[in-house]
Structure 1
């Protein structure tokens, strides 16, 4: 459906950051702006699906080039 444009290292970093932010949502119960931790859903989803809409818009890719 979508073209993969997120490389392996980029994927791992996105997943780790996304999980850390979501964990912060559950662990930091006293924060007044606690809902901002839910922004972690975005890097988590883009990391899991290996596609980033912003990369597509700007024509970027961190995937290695295929050898022909």
Structure 2
């Protein structure tokens, strides 16, 4: 797996994923909040399979 999630994108994914999971645990948004596992995992692993398929990378390029 090549890293393709970086910087602000990574922080935003972790924050949104954690928020959705917390809202699901408190019963605020119901079962759909568990979808937050996906952005949380992609942020923690710095890899997004969809980005890979589309050829997108938000990591800084090394020169």
TM-score bucket of the superposed structures, by smaller chain: over 0.9
- Count of aligned pairs between the two proteins: 63
CA root-mean-square deviation? 1.1
Q: Look up the SS of the partner of 2:19 in the other structure.
A: helix
State the match for 1:59 in structure 2: 55
Q: Which runs of 5+ in 1 are unaligned?
A: none
Q: Which runs of 5+ in 2 are unaligned?
A: none
Q: TM-score scaled by structure 2?
A: 0.94
User: After the TM superposition, which parts of structure 1 deviate over 3 Å for at least 4 consecutive aligned residues?
Assistant: none
Q: TM-score scaled by structure 1?
A: 0.88
Mapped partners of 2:5, 2:53: distance in 1: 13
Q: Shift of residue 35 of structure 1? A: 1.1
